[in-house]
């Protein structure tokens, strides 16, 4: 079986947990393509367990006083990247 394993790199431990999953996926005979999203590819470290992984900026919701901020999210999103992502998914 082949899967796409997408992990958000927000700094909340998702990558550490995903790193721990790699041997279990391999042991189950699963071939995983790893995608790390949110941060720039150059900002990741200790990614050897993921093999030839892919990086993508993704979409990050901005927050203000504990609530989603549509304006902050819009300002923090690359419109070029968002348009390109939308076309890829079509």
- The pLDDT assigned to 58 comes to 66
Confidence check: pLDDT of 3 > 90: yes
Confidence check: pLDDT of 82 > 70: no
Q: Which residue has the tokens 């300002």?
A: 75
- The pLDDT assigned to 50 comes to 93
pLDDT tens digit sequence for 22-81: 999 999 999 999 999 877 778 888 899 999 998 877 667 788 898 988 888 777 666 555
Mean pLDDT of all residues in 1-16: 88
* E-state strands within 1-90: 2-8, 31-37, 54-56, 63-64, 67-68
């Amino acid at each position: 079986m082949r899967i796409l394993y997408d992990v958000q790199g927000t700094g909340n431990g998702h990558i550490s947990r995903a790193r721990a999953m790699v041997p279990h996926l391999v042991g189950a005979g699963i071939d995983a393509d790893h995608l790390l999203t949110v941060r720039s590819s150059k900002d990741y470290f200790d990614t050897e367990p993921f093999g030839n992984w892919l990086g993508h900026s993704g979409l990050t919701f901005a927050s203000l006083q504990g609530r989603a901020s549509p304006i902050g999210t819009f300002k923090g999103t690359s419109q070029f990247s968002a348009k390109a992502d939308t076309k890829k998914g079509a």
